[in-house]
Chains A and B, each alone.
Chain A
Amino acid sequence: MAVVEIHGLTREFQSGGGEVVRALDGVDLVVEPGEMVAIMGTSGSGKSTLLNILGCLDRPSSGTYRLSGVAVETLDENALADLRNQRLGFVFQGFNLLHRTSALENVMLPMLYDRQGRFKDPEALARAVLTRVGLGNRLDHTPNELSGGQQQRVAVARALVTGPDLLLADEPTGNLDSHTTLDVMALFQALHDEGMTQLIVTHEDEVASYCTRAIVLRDGRIVQDQAITPRSAADDLAHKASAS
C-alpha cells in the first residue's frame, strides 16, 4: 500500500480582493514506502500548501488524499490531530523546538498527545531515539545550548519518536551551513536506509540530489517528476573532511 496517494488535489484560497486563488491545481502523487522524495519549486509554486495538506494541517478543496490508506479528507479536526500524532513526523526549517525545555522533554512532547497508550516508557524511548541521532550526551541541554545542526537533530528525533509512516521536512537545511547541511542529509539518508518514507520540501538542488526522486511544482501543478540516483551525503562529508 502506498504511503501517500493523492488524486486531483486542489486547494483554493479567497484572496483579499474576493477573487479565488488556486494554490494547488489538480495534483496527482503516489509515494511508495521507503521513497525519499524532494519537492521543489519557487515560492508561490504551491509546495507549502501541498506540505500542509500532506501534513494534515490543512484540508484540500477537492480531490482525495489517502495517508497509509486512510481517507484524510473525510476526517474531522480531532481525527486529523490524532493522525498527525500517529502517522506523521514534522521537521521544520526553524527547528521549532520548545525553548527553555531540554532535548529529552522536546522529544517526549508528541507522546504526551498519544491517546492509545502506545508508549509504555516514553522517557526511555526518547532517550533511545536521541542516542540514535547522535545526541545521547546532550539529553538535558536546552535548544539555546545546542548548535543549529544539533537542534535539527533533536527535531528529527521528535519527528521519529512516535514511529511515523511518513517524515515531512520543510526546508530542513534552510538555516544550516553547508557542512551541517551535509550532516543532516546524511542522517536523512541513514533513515532512508532503514526504510523511512520521507518527503523533503526544498529549493536547493543540492538537497534534492541526495533524494531518490525529485518533484518540481509550478503554479500549483507538478511539472516534473523524476527518479534520481542519490549522491551519498556521508561520502561527500568524508571527501570534504579529507580535502580540508
Chain B
Amino acid sequence: MNKLALVRIALGSIRRNAGRSLLTILGVVIGVGSVVVMVAIGQGARAEIAARVASLGTNLVVVTPGALNRSGVSAGAGSTDTLTLDDVEVIEREVYGAMAVSPVVASGTLAVAGNANWRTAIQGVNDDWFNIRSWSVSSGRTFDANEVRAARKVCLLGVTVAEALFGADDPVGREVRLRGIPVEVIGLLARKGPTAEGNDQDDIAILPYTTVRQRMAGRQYIAQILLRANSEDDVSDVMVDTAQILRETHRLGARGEADFTIRDQRQIAEASRGTTDVMTTLLSAVASVSLVVGGIGIMNIMLVSVTERTREIGIRRAVGARRSDVLAQFLVEAVVLSGLGGVLGAIGGAAMASAVGALTGWSTPVTASSLSIAMGFSGFIGVFFGWYPARRAAALDPIDALRHA
C-alpha cells in the first residue's frame, strides 16, 4: 500500500468529518500559532533592545555611584553620593583609553515657559557628552567648553520637553525657567526614543554641569560619569584603569568594597536582554504547553474515532489489510490532522506576528526556521499522540471488529 494512498485515505476521512476534524486540530492551531508569534515577538524585542542599547552611544563606559551589591543587598546603584567632580578630572587625566569623559549631574525640576510647565530631568554635562552619547541636535547648536567653563545659562531640550513647553514651535532662542533661573534654549536634541528599560530618553534638559552646580539650588549629585573609549578594544582597559584610579582616589585599599559600579554597553545590553529572554522563554514554554495539550486533544479524538470505526477496521482487515496497514492508516491520519493544524497555525501565527509588529512598530520577523520548527513539532506531536490510538486500532481482532455494532 503506497504512502500517497494512505494520505488520500486520511484526507478523505478528515473531509467526511470536517467539523470534528477542525475542532480536533484547534489545539494544535493555537499551539503552533502562539509558538510562531512568541518567537517573532522575542526576536523583535531582541532587535529592539539591541537598537536601544546602541542608542546609548558607542564604546560607552558608565560609572555609577554605589556598589551594585553590598553585603548581598543591592544598595541601588546611583543612590549614594560617592562620585565627585575630582573623580571626573582624575579619570580624564589618567585613563588613556578614554577619548572623552563627562560627568552627569542629575536633578529634577519643573521647567516653565510662558504659562506651560513640565516636570523633567535636568542633566548637567560637559561639552564632550554629546560626542559620548552620539547625540546630535536637530535644531540649533550644542554648548562648547568655554560656555561650560563660564557656567553659561544655556540649555538643550529633548523632544518630549520641547513639545510639552512649545508645542510644534522651534524652541531655539526661547527662554525656559529651570529652578527659577531663566535659561536660554540653544538647541533641540534629535529624537532618541525610549531606553532598553522603557524610559523616555527625550524627556530631558541638558545644561553645562557648571551651571547646574553653581547656579541652581536643590539636591544635586553626580549620577554618572560617562566615558567613551577610543575603540572597542580599549573598553575593557578603560574599565580596569578607571576602577584602579577610583579605588586609589577613594582610598579603598586593596580589599575595601568599591563604592562605585562600572559597566560597559555589553553588560547593559545583557542585563536588559536577560529580562526579555526570560519572558520569551516563559511565553514560548506556555505556547509549547498548548501545543502538547493540542496533541492530547488529537489523541482523544483519534481514540474516539478508532472506537467509532471499529467496523471499518474489521472490513479493511477482512479484505486484506495487515495490522501494519491499519496502524499506518491511523498514524498518517493523526499526522495529517496535526500537520493541517500546523499549517493553519503557522498562517495564523504569521498574521498575528505582523499585526503585533504593526502595533508596536517592532520588526517581528516570521522566519522560515521558526515556521519549520513549529510545523515539524506539530508533525512530531501527531506521531507521538497518534501512536497509541493507532496501536489500539491495529490490535483489534478482525472477527470481533466485524461483529462490532
Give the interface of A toward B (CB within 8 A): 52, 55, 57-58, 77-78, 81-82, 84-86, 90, 92, 96-98, 100-101, 105, 109-110, 112-115, 158, 162
Inter-subunit contact B321/A81 (CB<8 Å):
yes
Give the interface of B toward A (CB within 8 A): 1, 5, 9, 12, 16, 311-312, 314-325, 398-399, 402
Inter-subunit contact B312/A98 (CB<8 Å):
yes
A144 → B minimal CB distance (Å) = 13
Task: List the 3 shortest-distance A-B pairs measured between CB atoms, nearest first.
Answer: A85-B320, A110-B319, A113-B320
Q: How many A-B residue pairs have CB under 8 A?
A: 64
Inter-subunit contact B1/A113 (CB<8 Å):
yes
A82, B317: Cα distance in complex, Å:
10
21 A–B contacts, CB within 8 A, in A order: A55-B318, A57-B318, A57-B398, A57-B402, A58-B399, A77-B322, A84-B318, A84-B320, A86-B320, A90-B318, A92-B402, A96-B402, A100-B16, A101-B12, A110-B320, A112-B9, A112-B321, A113-B322, A114-B320, A158-B319, A162-B320
In the bound complex, residues from chain A placing their C-beta under 8 Å from that of B398 are: 57
A109, B325: Cα distance in complex, Å:
13
A158, B319: Cα distance in complex, Å:
9
* Complex: chain B residue closest to A155, CB-CB: B315
Inter-subunit contact B317/A81 (CB<8 Å):
yes
Given contacts A57-B398, A57-B399, A100-B16, contact A112 B1 (CB under 8 A): yes
In the bound complex, residues from chain B placing their C-beta under 8 Å from that of A98 are: 312, 315
CB < 8 Å: which of A77, A86, A109, A114 contacts B316? A109
In the bound complex, residues from chain B placing their C-beta under 8 Å from that of A162 are: 319-320
Main secondary structure of the interface of B (DSSP, over half): helix
In the bound complex, residues from chain B placing their C-beta under 8 Å from that of A52 are: 399
A205, B316: Cα distance in complex, Å:
31
Inter-subunit contact A113/B316 (CB<8 Å):
yes
In the bound complex, residues from chain A placing their C-beta under 8 Å from that of B312 are: 98
B329 → A minimal CB distance (Å) = 10
Inter-subunit contact A96/B311 (CB<8 Å):
yes
B279 → A minimal CB distance (Å) = 48
A109, B323: Cα distance in complex, Å:
16
A86, B322: Cα distance in complex, Å:
13
Inter-subunit contact B317/A112 (CB<8 Å):
no
A97, B315: Cα distance in complex, Å:
8
A85, B9: Cα distance in complex, Å:
18
In the bound complex, residues from chain B placing their C-beta under 8 Å from that of A58 are: 399
Inter-subunit contact A84/B319 (CB<8 Å):
yes
A201 → B minimal CB distance (Å) = 14
CB < 8 Å: which of A77, A100, A105, A113 contacts B319? A113
In the bound complex, residues from chain B placing their C-beta under 8 Å from that of A55 are: 318
A113, B316: Cα distance in complex, Å:
9
In the bound complex, residues from chain B placing their C-beta under 8 Å from that of A101 are: 12, 16
A217, B309: Cα distance in complex, Å:
33
A18 → B minimal CB distance (Å) = 21
In the bound complex, residues from chain A placing their C-beta under 8 Å from that of B402 are: 57, 92, 96
In the bound complex, residues from chain A placing their C-beta under 8 Å from that of B320 are: 81-82, 84-86, 110, 113-114, 162
Inter-subunit contact A112/B322 (CB<8 Å):
no
In the bound complex, residues from chain A placing their C-beta under 8 Å from that of B12 are: 101, 105
A85, B317: Cα distance in complex, Å:
9
A97, B402: Cα distance in complex, Å:
11
B402 → A minimal CB distance (Å) = 7
A118, B318: Cα distance in complex, Å:
18
Given contacts A58-B399, A113-B320, contact A96 B314 (CB under 8 A): yes
In the bound complex, residues from chain B placing their C-beta under 8 Å from that of A86 are: 320
A92, B314: Cα distance in complex, Å:
12
* Complex: chain A residue closest to B325, CB-CB: A113
In the bound complex, residues from chain B placing their C-beta under 8 Å from that of A113 are: 1, 316, 319-322, 325
In the bound complex, residues from chain B placing their C-beta under 8 Å from that of A96 are: 311, 314-315, 318, 402
Given contacts A57-B398, A96-B402, A113-B1, contact A90 B322 (CB under 8 A): no
In the bound complex, residues from chain B placing their C-beta under 8 Å from that of A100 are: 16
Inter-subunit contact A78/B322 (CB<8 Å):
yes
In the bound complex, residues from chain A placing their C-beta under 8 Å from that of B9 are: 112
A187, B318: Cα distance in complex, Å:
22
Inter-subunit contact A90/B399 (CB<8 Å):
no
B315 → A minimal CB distance (Å) = 5
In the bound complex, residues from chain B placing their C-beta under 8 Å from that of A84 are: 317-320
Which has the most chain A C-beta neighbours within 10 Å: B9, B319, B402?
A: B319
* Complex: chain A residue closest to B5, CB-CB: A112
A85, B324: Cα distance in complex, Å:
15
A40, B74: Cα distance in complex, Å:
94
In the bound complex, residues from chain B placing their C-beta under 8 Å from that of A85 are: 319-320
In the bound complex, residues from chain B placing their C-beta under 8 Å from that of A81 are: 317, 320-323, 325
